[in-house]
A and B are shown apart, each in its own frame.
Chain A
Amino acid sequence: MDDSADRREVLRRMLTIREFDSTAGDHFADGEIPGFVHLYIGEEAVAVGACAAIEDDDYITSTHRGHGHCIAKGLDPDRMMAELFGKTDGYCNGKGGSMHIADVDANMLGANGIVGAGPPLATGAALTNDLQDDDRIALSFLGDGAVAQGQVHEAINLASTWDLPAVFLVENNQYGEGTSIHDQHNVETLSETAEAYDIPGFTVDGMDVTAVYEAVEAARERAIEGEGPTFIEAETYRYRGHFEGDPQEYRTAEELDQWKARDPIEAFRERLADTDDLSESEFDSMQSDVEQTIEDAVAFAEDSDYPDPEAAYEDVFDVRPPEISRFADRTATDGGKQR
């Protein structure tokens, strides 16, 4: 975020996330996107600020709510949308969907259906970096709910014991599914838990993209210097339910309005108007570009084919074992039931 072009790109990525996810919500409601989706709207400053502070070949791990991390890491909305639609041109050829979207080529190690599973993977990626003397880090996004899961403790303890180049970034959106964080944790701030590992821990305003950027930039620097991991808590809020269709009876409309008054995109847009001469017309034009990009992504997803049903039997292993061929040939087990 050193120059004005970088800052404009940060704004564009936040807008792209919001547009992508609100469009995904619409197509989920229409029934075009199967399963369920967890939307990132409201939290855009965390993913974008963090990914702006790391290098392209740094690794990230993600959460249930992973679309924002993908876009922030530079993934292509076309292939993302195709994945959500379960189509063959998706990043995972339709096998992963919203909750397991990944792009290994971009060192994005996947959204995850298990809330605390990302940190051990990030510790492992950081260990590879350390062993291979790569000048890169692993950044793990996790939710406030994940902090209560045991494997997160094991992962941070291991990373701090070995001074691995990792950053643990907690997106505290105030609710673990439908339960307030105050009913899930007994600490004032989640970043206090960093003391247990003797690593730096601090809480930043997750609605402020610059604050997130600066925190992750410092944490990355420390990781690269071999000083070990950092624990960052970014306080944020999701505007939508835990999942689309969540009745959200656990929170009030007033609370939502209070957070929306601190909207991360609006705040950053105002800042750029002051510091970088971002005009209203330029913003409008950026917004319509983004809308076009997402409209194109939907068209791409709709045009893409569903995978051949036979593809269900591939990718369990490097090479298909005889068992899968044996059982996939239904004449062998059930007298030839037709699909």
Chain B
Amino acid sequence: MSTQPDAGPDPSDTETMTVREAIRAALREELDRDGDVYLMGEDVAEYGGVLGVTEGLFEEFGGERVRDTPISEAGIVGAGVGSAATGARPVVELMFSDFMGVAMEQISNQMAKMRYMFGGKIEMPLTIRTTEGGGQGAASQHSGTPHTWIAHFPGLKAVTPGTPRAAKGLLKSAIRSDDPVFFFENKMIYEQDGEVPTDPNYTEPIGEARVEREGEDVTVAATQRLVGESLDVAEDLEGTASVEVIDLRSLYPLDTDTLADSLSKTGRMVVADESPLSYGVHAEVSARMVEDEFFSLDAPIQRVGVADTHIPFSPPLEEEVVPDAADVRAAVERVV
């Protein structure tokens, strides 16, 4: 046994990459690291993914481990469940999260419950990658943000990265996890770039939020695209209000402590997440803050999200309902 302590991954060695590149790098590194990892989904192989995320992986790893499937969401998610239960580590891509409904039986009754129903005697190392979000004129069946379905359901983990660093680190953790993890990619941030650690051993833990910018007056707890937009708002308001921006990163488990610590400092909170407002992420964060930090609150918690509509097609309608920086700014200004 070596007496030399393991130096561990060095997160300071970074490279600038986009969210899309960060996800692809995570997939490549994990395919390379573990022969039990494989990808399957519609058009993920030779096509390279309909949004280009898996480009080049088929050429690098071959058709056994990067597999095109029929358009069978229930079949491929179910096969992923059966395969994960028998010793492989599949990464299934659902092209759009709106398609989860087709596979929901396998998600809710098999994937989520199998470990529990079997008394803990099975592992479920399955990752589901899927895209979310409005802003592309893709209309109601290709623009939804249904991540709260998954975060609400016992037995499933849900992560929603807002930066390239979080995207890479969380996807690697998802693939290495022995629990089913849904990895929700907001398709409007695929081109957003940032610094990403290059060490292949570097991962980001599931269940930890990250303070992306420190502030004193108000906390914006954001997800996905709204992390970047909230950082822009914080910068714009510099001198007027000191805004702390937290990327929730993981919806389940949710990092209550980081949120509570921030709220105890700022006394004000805005929850910004592109999902329908009723019964969702906003409500859960608010409830926990009321339970844990009620006496720190100096103002009502503000919610920024979708006003319980679907995402419409026509550009002015879509722009109306999809939350953006202006909505975050307005919410901040209501309380500071």
B88 near A131: Cβ-Cβ < 8 Å: yes
CB distance from B74 to the nearest CB of A (A): 4
B179 near A317: Cβ-Cβ < 8 Å: yes
Interface string of A111-126 (1 = CB under 8 A from B): 0111011011111111
> Which residues between 90 and 106 of chain B lie within 8 Å of chain A, taking CB atoms?
90, 105-106
Measured between beta carbons, the chain A residues less than 8 angstroms from B155 are: 316-317
- Asked if A338 CB lies within 8 Å of chain B CBs, one says no
Measured between beta carbons, the chain A residues less than 8 angstroms from B72 are: 154, 157-158
Interface string of B236-253 (1 = CB under 8 A from A): 000000000000000011
- Asked if A91 CB lies within 8 Å of chain B CBs, one says yes
Interface string of B206-221 (1 = CB under 8 A from A): 0100000000000000
Interface string of B241-275 (1 = CB under 8 A from A): 00000000000111010000000000000000000
CB distance from B99 to the nearest CB of A (A): 13
Measured between beta carbons, the chain B residues less than 8 angstroms from A96 are: 117-119
> Which residues between 304 and 331 of chain A lie within 8 Å of chain B, taking CB atoms?
314-318, 321-323, 326
Inter-chain CA distance A95–B121, complex, in Å, is 11
Measured between beta carbons, the chain B residues less than 8 angstroms from A105 are: 121
Measured between beta carbons, the chain A residues less than 8 angstroms from B120 are: 93, 314-315
Inter-chain CA distance A102–B113, complex, in Å, is 13
A100 near B105: Cβ-Cβ < 8 Å: no
CB distance from A292 to the nearest CB of B (A): 27
Partner of B82, one of A94, A104, A123, A318: A123
Inter-chain CA distance A251–B100, complex, in Å, is 39
- Asked if A155 CB lies within 8 Å of chain B CBs, one says yes
CB distance from A128 to the nearest CB of B (A): 4
Measured between beta carbons, the chain A residues less than 8 angstroms from B87 are: 128, 132
Q: Which residue of A lies closest to B177 (CB)?
A: A318
A124 near B253: Cβ-Cβ < 8 Å: no
Partner of A154, one of B70, B81, B123, B177: B70
By a beta-carbon cutoff of 8 Å, the part of chain A in contact with chain B is: 59, 61, 90-96, 100, 102, 104-105, 107, 109-110, 112-114, 116-117, 119-129, 131-132, 138, 150-151, 154-155, 157-158, 161, 314-318, 321-323, 326, 332-333
Q: Which 4 A-B pairs have the closest CB atoms?
A: A124-B82, A120-B78, A154-B75, A315-B120
Inter-chain CA distance A157–B82, complex, in Å, is 16
CB distance from A199 to the nearest CB of B (A): 15
Q: Which residue of B lies closest to A97 (CB)?
A: B117
Measured between beta carbons, the chain A residues less than 8 angstroms from B114 are: 110
Given A120-B79, A123-B82, A151-B75, the answer on whether A316 and B154 have CB atoms closer than 8 Å is: yes
A123 near B79: Cβ-Cβ < 8 Å: yes
- Asked if B182 CB lies within 8 Å of chain A CBs, one says no
- Asked if B138 CB lies within 8 Å of chain A CBs, one says no
B83 near A128: Cβ-Cβ < 8 Å: yes
Inter-chain CA distance A138–B86, complex, in Å, is 10
Inter-chain CA distance A125–B80, complex, in Å, is 9
Partner of A322, one of B76, B85, B256: B256
Given A131-B64, A317-B157, A321-B253, the answer on whether A157 and B81 have CB atoms closer than 8 Å is: no
A138 near B82: Cβ-Cβ < 8 Å: yes
A323 near B254: Cβ-Cβ < 8 Å: yes
Inter-chain CA distance A108–B114, complex, in Å, is 13
- Asked if B173 CB lies within 8 Å of chain A CBs, one says no
How many residue pairs bridge A and B at CB < 8 Å?
162
Known: A125-B82, A158-B69, A314-B120. 7 other contacts (CB 8 A): A94-B119, A102-B117, A109-B82, A120-B106, A123-B79, A127-B82, A318-B179
- Asked if B109 CB lies within 8 Å of chain A CBs, one says yes
Inter-chain CA distance A154–B64, complex, in Å, is 20
B121 near A92: Cβ-Cβ < 8 Å: yes
A151 near B117: Cβ-Cβ < 8 Å: no
B117 near A59: Cβ-Cβ < 8 Å: no
Q: Which residue of B lies closest to A61 (CB)?
A: B82
Partner of B74, one of A61, A107, A127, A151: A151
- Asked if B38 CB lies within 8 Å of chain A CBs, one says yes
Inter-chain CA distance A91–B154, complex, in Å, is 22
Inter-chain CA distance A92–B147, complex, in Å, is 30
Residue of B72, B109, B117, B123 with most chain A CB atoms under a 10 A cut-off = B117
B119 near A120: Cβ-Cβ < 8 Å: no
Measured between beta carbons, the chain A residues less than 8 angstroms from B78 are: 117, 119-121, 123-124, 151, 154-155
CB distance from B127 to the nearest CB of A (A): 14
Residue of A93, A128, A314 with most chain B CB atoms under a 10 A cut-off = A128
- Asked if B291 CB lies within 8 Å of chain A CBs, one says yes
CB distance from A142 to the nearest CB of B (A): 13
Measured between beta carbons, the chain A residues less than 8 angstroms from B252 are: 321, 323
B116 near A315: Cβ-Cβ < 8 Å: yes
Q: Which residue of B lies closest to A333 (CB)?
A: B291
Partner of A104, one of B65, B77, B121, B253: B121
Q: Which residue of B lies closest to A315 (CB)?
A: B120
List 19 A–B pairs whose Cβ atoms lie within 8 Å, in order of A's numbering.
A90-B119, A94-B119, A95-B119, A121-B79, A123-B75, A123-B79, A124-B79, A124-B80, A128-B88, A131-B38, A132-B87, A138-B82, A154-B78, A155-B78, A157-B72, A315-B116, A316-B116, A322-B207, A322-B253
CB distance from A275 to the nearest CB of B (A): 38
Measured between beta carbons, the chain A residues less than 8 angstroms from B85 are: 104, 109, 121, 124-125
A315 near B115: Cβ-Cβ < 8 Å: yes
- Asked if B277 CB lies within 8 Å of chain A CBs, one says no
B117 near A95: Cβ-Cβ < 8 Å: yes
Inter-chain CA distance A182–B106, complex, in Å, is 28
Inter-chain CA distance A121–B105, complex, in Å, is 12
A318 near B123: Cβ-Cβ < 8 Å: yes
Inter-chain CA distance A59–B79, complex, in Å, is 14
Inter-chain CA distance A107–B119, complex, in Å, is 15
Measured between beta carbons, the chain B residues less than 8 angstroms from A59 are: 86
Q: Which residue of A lies closest to B65 (CB)?
A: A131
Partner of B88, one of A110, A127, A332: A127
CB distance from A314 to the nearest CB of B (A): 6
